[in-house]
Amino acid sequence: MTFLAVVEGDAGGWHVDRRALTEAIRARWAEVGIDSSARSAVRSLIWGLDTTIGPGEAYLHEDGTCLYMDMWEEDAVWLVIAFRRLTPMHLDLVFCDEGYTFDVRVPAGTTEAELMALMRSAG
């Protein structure tokens, strides 16, 4: 399933620290392939993941404010929380799936369990 985490509104020039996000991903998943050859605006940096549930992929938009995730829900939720931790508190981060069965704001400090609850109540 494809998920999306995006900073809503004007990010004021902010973009995620690619190195810090890569470190967070490597801390969670031992097997990570990284492709930094920009394939498109949407796929400027790609992480190929070998999760316990199966293979997954995350890719960053070139502006650094939008993260796409093709992976299982529980892995996407973890990655959104990691992305939120790297996003300034004053910026709004929205998490949704490709079918918009849910569309939720992710406040700073949100836990995985809280995000799952937000998703369930929005869906």
Query: Does residue 105 have a pLDDT over 80?
Result: yes
Total domain count, the chain: 1
The confidence score (pLDDT) of residue 123 equals: 65
pLDDT at 30: 82
CB 62 within 8 A of CB 43: no
pLDDT band for position 55 (cuts 50, 70, 90): very high
Domain extent at residue 103: 2-122
Give residue for tokens 């990284």.
34
- The model's pTM is 0.93
Q: CB of 104 within 8 A of CB of 95?
A: yes
Q: Which residues pair with 59 in a beta bridge?
A: 46, 68
CATH number of the domain that residue 77 is part of? 3.30.310
* Of the listed ranges 28-37, 57-66, 70-79, the one predicted with least confidence: 28-37
pLDDT at 108: 94
Question: pLDDT by residue (tens digit) across 78-99?
Answer: 999 999 999 999 999 999 998 8
Q: Return the residue matching tokens 């998943």.
A: 29
More confidently predicted of 105 and 37: 105
pLDDT in tens, 33-51: 999 887 788 888 999 999 8
Q: Are strands 32-35 and 45-50 parallel, antiparallel or unpaired?
A: antiparallel
